Structure 1
Amino acid sequence: MTANTLPGHPHFEHRGSELFAEQVRLSDLAREHGTPLFVYSKASMLAALAAYQRGFAGRKARICYAMKANSSLGVLQVFAQAGCGFDIVSGGELERVLAAGGAGKDIIFSGVGKTRAEMRRALAVGVGCFNVESEAELEVLSEVAAAAGKVAPVSVRVNPDVDPKTHPYISTGLKGNKFGVAHDRTVATYQRAASLPGLKVVGIDCHIGSQITDEAPYLEAMDRIVDLVQAIEAVGIPIHHIDFGGGLGISYNGDQPPAADDLWRKLFARLDARGFGDRQFMIEPGRSLVGNAGACVTEVLYLKPGEGKNFCIVDAAMNDLPRPAMYQAFHAIVPANPRAEAPQTYDVVGPVCESGDWIGRDRVLAVKQGDLLAVMSAGAYSMSMASNYNTRGRAAEVLVDGGKAFLIRERETAADQMRAERLVS
């Protein structure tokens, strides 16, 4: 039987007329669990993690999974068992880490709008570090920590004003972005942090954006952060760890991001040259660990020919796969059971009552009603951003490990959605 691995997805391949995730047929999973259905490859996640681990070999470094990319408990469990920490941005994400077997000390708490309640809960479970994003947040966190009789470990997220050359919605390190403390306010902010009774300065943080496919912005940001560490330590404030965030991209449509191990070898060479290679480092990859580990399996409901467009209407929609509607993003779409017939060009669209509900434009497909399609690179920012628009239940999720498949999320019902609602009596 001929096997054809999908480009950029080494653990998804066509074997004859079937698309497999590792050793499991996607058509079998769709038959058992229905569609739309998210399928994740554990081997793909661990292979992506291994590239970072190779890049950090011999270094003092900690990988903290940026769970906003995919916060499903079964996915978090994979990274917890692999020894990762976690980067969170909300109190809800904190609770998910704990439910998946993570510990407070393994958590970095990022985000520009932490509430007092979230701070108190994070302090109670002993989070490893707060990445503070404004001077006002320093004051509030010190007050909350002192009132609880605790000292909060902090690093300040610095905005280095580096262009990551990515989509503007996911660019986070420029002057006009809401994230971090301005580069020219950094030393003064650290002096204030060091003076506050409820805080202990432990590090410095930087994150410039997401889906970055060029190494140059990382090198530029690294130089700026090292300059700042030197300036901060020159005023008597030691920096125990340097956190370079995440943001490394994946291949959606022939993109060529640097491999994680190659990128970090270059970054460490730069750090060694500046005398900083022996520091403690933290990073928070998200998309690059899970993005190409996932596919969304969807059924073709109808084929609708038209004068200007042919439409392939599927049962997955913008509430399941928000990236095309939100970012005009590209996801490869491949048949789960390829046909030999002549293909046609379709816009692949969902059932949601919006013209923006499209999954792919101008896709060449040989399909018939009832066929299954796999929307690839759906492991990141799909389920974590999914909604109930049009009272659509969120899809089921399956984690594949070799020849075994585990249901890690049941399909959501209308009753599930209405459980917390009340009629007016």
Structure 2
Amino acid sequence: MTFYPYKNGRLHIEGVSLDELAARVGTPFYCYSASAMETAYTSFVAALGDLPATVCYALKANSNQAVIKTFAQLGAGADVVSEGELRRALAAGVPAKKIVFAGVGKQPSEMATALDAGILQFNVESLPELEALSRVAQEKGSVAPVALRINPDVDALTHAKISTGKAENKFGIDIPSLRGFLASAAELPGVRVEGLAVHIGSQVTDVNPYRTAFERLVALFVELRDAGWPLERLDMGGGLGIAYRDGAAPDITRYAEIVRGAVAGVGCKLIFEPGRFLTGNAGLLVTRTVYVKHGTARRFVIVDAAMNDLIRPTLYDAWHDILPVAQFSPDAAREPYDIVGPICESSDIFAEQRSLPTVAPDDLLAICSSGAYGAVMASSYNSRPPAPEILVRGKDYAVIRPRMDYDALIGQDRLPEWLDDSQQSSEPRGAA
């Protein structure tokens, strides 16, 4: 990973020592390489070449304002799945006409906010959703631009919990149901079907399933356009993954070739929604060893990060490379360790039987490829303030989300009057 070099015996992120960051903000913390994000984005755009494409960064991967702004300044739009993400995109300077609103459960209030903003399109996934959007648009005297998300029944060859394009998944409109769906859509005022969309899953590294999905999508697009539907756009979705372990990263050139082959001669605008591909390898979660516990059967490295900071290993049995911040010799002796957090859950594990050079208390470890679905999925479980976030460019860095202190964490709660000592009178309630 060229953005995370060892210099003078210590791991850096670009030109900044992780020791320096740990001293500044304490551990655990997330740090992101701006250059890594920018490189990933420009490589994706370059692979698409002269295709008539709008690249909409998928905020679900990492919705920090500084991350969104980094992509917005490069010309990216945004793929959002909630009003909160919509507001984040607008606040970061993403033009409304580059925002796609996806997701299966949009609320009428969210639809109203998006209509007021003037977004590019709503990706609609069911007839009840389209009917709700029609009602909201009518009330506002406007017309909602719509792309129908198609479920192509394609196996993305990814983890079952992040597959979205198979018939049994909750996402999209089944192809056999599309004709009836369109007949109903034609009767609804306030909506205009302008495109079709597809998204087959997340963390896709074998690009071949895209071929089948895109071919089915394009065939439907051409058929419907020929039948008189005013279709203008194909939303090809996202889902491109990264190499977390030994597997190969997706071949972005091959992916672009598949796109070109599918849309050749169609003559329409294209939308792409990468997320993890742009941010995943840009981030590290840095944690400090608290104790090394030698059990009967295993050695445990107990660190100060936990599943509330990075839930992917718990949720998906996900693999993340783990590097000591102190540089080690390639022929250094190694031992198997379980890297675990302090939360009172047996599933609070980052790695099992991971082979590492000898780890001692106070050592810093970097959990790699944590830039996507890390901080954005964090919680305050066990009343632990989530890890702060830092953005690095060259030798400069900035805290882009500070660590919440305990007063602020506890202060989010509100006591009812009958439990609030400051609100109670000296006499018992009901006294004469």
Structure-1-length-normalised TM-score: 0.95
Is 1:289 the counterpart of 2:281 in the alignment?
no
Could you tell me which residue of structure 2 aligns to residue 330 of structure 1?
319
* Aligned-partner residue type, residue 308 of structure 2: N
Q: State whether residues 52 and 270 of structure 2, in contact with CA within 8 Å, keep that contact through their aligned partners in structure 1.
A: yes
Q: Which of 106, 109, 131 pairs up with 1:117?
A: 109
CA–CA separation in structure 2 for the residues paired with 1:193 and 1:129: 16
CA–CA separation in structure 2 for the residues paired with 1:328 and 1:226: 35
CA–CA separation in structure 1 for the residues paired with 2:81 and 2:406: 28
Is 1:351 the counterpart of 2:357 in the alignment?
no
Could you tell me which residue of structure 2 aligns to residue 100 of structure 1?
92
State the shift of 1:339 in Å.
4.5
* Aligned counterparts, 1:121-200, within 5 A: 121-200=113-192
CA–CA separation in structure 1 for the residues paired with 2:407 and 2:148: 43
CA–CA separation in structure 1 for the residues paired with 2:412 and 2:141: 36
* Aligned-partner residue type, residue 271 of structure 1: V
* Aligned counterparts, 1:12-411, within 5 A: 12-272=4-264, 275-276=265-266, 278-339=267-328, 342-365=333-356, 366-411=358-403
CA–CA separation in structure 2 for the residues paired with 1:326 and 1:32: 30
* Aligned-partner residue type, residue 332 of structure 1: D
Any unmatched runs of 5+ in structure 1?
1-8
Matched position secondary structure for 2:245? coil
* Aligned-partner residue type, residue 322 of structure 2: I
State the shift of 1:418 in Å.
2.7
Larger Rg: 2
State the shift of 1:214 in Å.
0.8
CA–CA separation in structure 2 for the residues paired with 1:138 and 1:381: 29
Write the deviation string for residues 57-86 of structure 1: whole angstroms up to 9, x where unpaired.
111100000010000111111011111000
Write the deviation string for residues 367-408 of structure 1: whole angstroms up to 9, x where unpaired.
211010000000000111101100110111010011100110
CA–CA separation in structure 2 for the residues paired with 1:256 and 1:342: 27
Write the deviation string for residues 23-59 of structure 1: whole angstroms up to 9, x where unpaired.
1111111111111110100110011111211122111
Q: State whether residues 42 and 401 of structure 1, in contact with CA within 8 Å, keep that contact through their aligned partners in structure 2.
A: yes
* Aligned-partner residue type, residue 349 of structure 1: V
CA–CA separation in structure 2 for the residues paired with 1:245 and 1:415: 41
Distance 1:19 1:139, change over 3 A: same
Q: State whether residues 290 and 380 of structure 1, in contact with CA within 8 Å, keep that contact through their aligned partners in structure 2.
A: yes
Any unmatched runs of 5+ in structure 2?
418-432
CA–CA separation in structure 2 for the residues paired with 1:224 and 1:347: 45
CA–CA separation in structure 1 for the residues paired with 2:223 and 2:386: 49
State the shift of 1:235 in Å.
2.3
| Aligned residue pair count | 414
Pairwise CA RMSD: 1.3
Structure-2-length-normalised TM-score: 0.93
State the shift of 1:197 in Å.
1.2
CA–CA separation in structure 2 for the residues paired with 1:369 and 1:167: 35
Q: State whether residues 51 and 259 of structure 1, in contact with CA within 8 Å, keep that contact through their aligned partners in structure 2.
A: no
CA–CA separation in structure 1 for the residues paired with 2:223 and 2:124: 19
Q: State whether residues 54 and 272 of structure 2, in contact with CA within 8 Å, keep that contact through their aligned partners in structure 1.
A: yes
